[in-house]
Amino acid sequence: MPALRDKPPVDQRVPTMADRPQGKPLIAILGPTAMGKTALAIHLAREFEGEIVSADSRQIYRGMDIGTAKPSPEERRLVPHHLIDIVEPDQNFTLAQYQEAAYCAIEDILARDKVPFLVGGSGLYVKAVLEGFAIPAVAPRSELRTQLLAEAELSGPARLHARLAQVDPRAAAKIDMHNVRRVVRALEVYHATGRPISEWQERRPPSYRLLKIGLTMERRQLYQRIDERVERMLSQGLIDEVRRLFEQGYNWELPAMSGLGYKQLGAYLRGEVDLSTAVRSIKAETRRFVRQQYKWFRLDDPSIVWFDVAQDTYPAIRERVAEFLQRDRVRWET
């Protein structure tokens, strides 16, 4: 059996709304990092004949395994996974490309009478699929992007964010100023099209019947779990993984190398900070990232069924999924 990374993620056009099966199920497993979304999805997919579509903006990169908490080869043998290991760390992969690939993977899974599970904590990826963003097909503009990134480096992210607020206040209100990559992309779209990205990002929700399962826990417990996860990644060889990527020619300025763990350990490997400082920074930045994720996946969102993973919730989640799929199978057969 060929390695999953060798399987082309998609080879179809983007399905139109008319192409999409009316009322067929799509189950999303959402929530902040370190919640155990992958483990839960694998259990459910094995029990309900499902396959997993990753909604993680870092797991798309080959060779970035430990720091992205990518499912292991053993886990991927248990359940088919889609949209993992599909590009090299120095390749561009836009939100529009992800959305297209995700819809095609979902269609492929449904065509084989399997259940698609959309799993991940990258809020923009998840919402692009579930809410049907109309994404502008604007290719990255390297010269402008380099200029904007240099400006952020020189003057700080707040100044670049203020520029975005002048031309697109709606987008600026939704984008964390520290997420320089997204701020740059929004400015890129504005300069390329003359229209704010917020106008482009209209919603055309797909016609799937959705079940959105959210995983959460008390914040203090989650932060402790994050600290333990970071230490586990280090013991699994995260420093060597980051060093190996650099030795393979992937430079520190690449967006892929700016991810949690990679950026901070890059500073350590360049001799800019000591290891303990780098590790503290990874933990602190991951906590900040969690706070941002809770803005994407709000606990008061009535469309999400939340479960506290600090308790034994699998039987309740399983029951909810079984009920959801039973209703759909009746619809399919009538």
Q: Tell me the Cα Rg of the chain.
A: 20
Q: Where are the beta strands (DSSP E) in 165-318?
A: 209-216, 304-308
Q: Are residues 95 and 216 in the same domain?
A: yes
Assign residue 169 the CATH number of its domain.
Answer: 1.10.20.140
Q: Are residues 225 and 161 in the same domain?
A: no
170-189 in b/e form (b: 16+ CB < 10 A) is ebbebbebebbebbbbbbbb
pLDDT of residue 201: 66
Q: Are residues 106 and 217 in the same domain?
A: yes
Q: Is residue 269 part of a domain?
A: no
Q: Are residues 223 and 149 in the same domain?
A: no
Q: Is residue 258 part of a domain?
A: no
* Tally of domains in the chain: 2
State the pairing for strand pair 304-308/81-82.
unpaired
Q: Is residue 19 part of a domain?
A: yes
Q: Which of 185, 200, 215 is the last residue of a domain?
A: 200
Which is nearest to 65 in space by CA: 256, 269, 216? 256
pLDDT of residue 233: 98
**Residue 104 is encoded by which pair of tokens?**
């095609």
Q: Are residues 225 and 319 in the same domain?
A: yes
Q: Are residues 151 and 172 in the same domain?
A: yes
Please report the sign of the dihedral spanned by the C-alpha atoms of residue 97, residue 100, residue 101, residue 102: positive
Q: Are residues 105 and 151 in the same domain?
A: no
pLDDT of residue 277: 98
Q: Are residues 118 and 37 in the same domain?
A: yes
The residues near 143 (Cβ < 8 Å, ≥ 6 apart) are none
Q: Is residue 10 part of a domain?
A: yes
Q: Are residues 179 and 209 in the same domain?
A: no
Q: Are the C-beta atoms of 127 and 296 separated by less than 8 Å? A: yes
Assign residue 320 the CATH number of its domain.
Answer: 3.40.50.300
The span from the CA of 131 to the CA of 204, in Å, is: 6
Q: Are residues 155 and 227 in the same domain?
A: no
- Domain residue limits at 45: 4-134+203-234+299-333
Residue 318 buriedness (CB in 10 A; 0-12 / 13-18 / 19+):
middle
pLDDT of residue 48: 96
Residues of the chain with confidence (pLDDT) below 70: 1-22, 137, 139, 201-202, 328-334
Q: Are residues 73 and 156 in the same domain?
A: no
Q: Are residues 221 and 325 in the same domain?
A: yes
The order of strands in the sheet holding 81-82 is: 81-82, 50-54, 115-119, 25-30, 209-216, 304-308
